[in-house]
Amino acid sequence: MLTGKTYLITGIADEHSLAMYVAKKIKENGGQVICTGLGVSQFHDSLSDKAKSFLDQTFKDFQDSVHQELGTDTMTEILDVSLEASIQEFCNKIKSKNIKIDGFLHAIAMDKTIRNKVVKPLLDVTFKEFCDAMEVSAYSLISLTSHLFKNNLLNADASICSLSYIAASKVTFHPYRNISIAKAALERITVELADEMGRKNGTRVNCIRFSPYMGSKAGNATLNEKDVEFAHRKSPLGNALPEDLAFEVLNLLRPKGRTTGEIRHVDGGYNIMG
């Protein structure tokens, strides 16, 4: 289905990341992937030794898991979406290899107002915390798309997919507050970009709201088991699994689709319940 197609996969932290399931599914269907992870780049100013060693370890974990799960020939690059120069550097790298991509998965989120599963009330969120979550978790969909498009790296029939959850529109079993607002922005950006990119480049832009999943680093740092169980019981089909998500992402990324601007649920039906 994806023979001759190449997709950029962002957001792999390790083998349990949702993005890893998507990357595997693309490869199983004959496509190629380029994977990006967080790491130290030349554009980071004045990193403390602690921050540097954290980022080095983050990149090592990412690269080791990509090589183990997807093969040692899989291209891995550093990409920090909070640094515009890092996005441009990534574009320069793939340009120098004459690669054009057929789409990408945006699986990036960050919110410093959730610590050890405790969520800061909205009334205590600072402007900086608000903007940081918004920049990394929402604006990055614009900046990544814009850089790839303006560097002529997005094939015309390309397809973009990002990941969200029900908290973008409803107060849920686990009140995420700050990041929920960033996810709402991510979904709205999806719709606006679908219009712009569809007309400019024939490119589709969609978003999937997924069930709570504790397997990943982000999921484990934020969710409680009781919340995941609550969602599982409430959903007619139970919580969706990462494989279900990967299947649906593949469906949206595949060539010649006509679906765009869609916010789709892969959540076992949780969203239909009152």
Ligand X SMILES: NC(=O)c1ccc[n+]([C@@H]2O[C@H](COP(=O)([O-])OP(=O)(O)OC[C@H]3O[C@@H](n4cnc5c(N)ncnc54)[C@H](O)[C@@H]3O)[C@@H](O)[C@H]2O)c1
Candidates 23, 109, 160, 205: give the one binding ligand X (CB under 6 A).
109
DSSP state of 135: I
Looking at the Cβ atoms of 149 and 213, the one nearer to ligand X is 213
- Pairing verdict, β 154-164 and 101-106: parallel
Candidates 5, 11, 133, 194: give the one binding ligand X (CB under 6 A).
11
**Taking the C-alpha atoms of 190, 188, 152 and 84 in order, what is their torsion angle to the nearest 10 degrees?**
-120
Q: From the CB of residue 214, how many other CB atoms can be counted at a distance below 10 Å? A: 16
* Contact pattern for ligand X over residues 218 through 257, marking x by CB under 6 A: xx---x----------------------------------
DSSP bridge pairs for 160 = 104, 205
Q: Does 63 bind ligand X (CB under 6 A)?
A: no
Q: Does 18 bind ligand X (CB under 6 A)?
A: yes
Amino acid letter for position 268: G
**Residues 6+ positions from 143 with CB-CB distance below 8 Å:** 81, 84, 87
Write the DSSP assignment of 183-231 as a string of letters. Answer: HHHHHHHHHHHHHHHHHHHS-EEEEEEE----SSHHHHHH--HHHHHHH
Segment interacting with ligand X (CB under 6 A) among 15-23, 67-75, 121-129, 250-258? 15-23
Q: Does 217 bind ligand X (CB under 6 A)?
A: yes
Looking at the Cβ atoms of 201 and 234, the one nearer to ligand X is 234
Looking at the Cβ atoms of 99 and 241, the one nearer to ligand X is 241
Separation of alpha carbons 106 and 180, rounded Å: 16
Q: By CB under 6 A, what part of segment 155-214 binds ligand X?
A: 163-165, 210, 212-213
Segment interacting with ligand X (CB under 6 A) among 14-22, 47-55, 64-72, 145-153? 14-22
Contact residues for ligand X, defined by CB under 6 A: 11-13, 17-19, 37-38, 79-82, 107-110, 136, 163-165, 210, 212-213, 216-219, 223
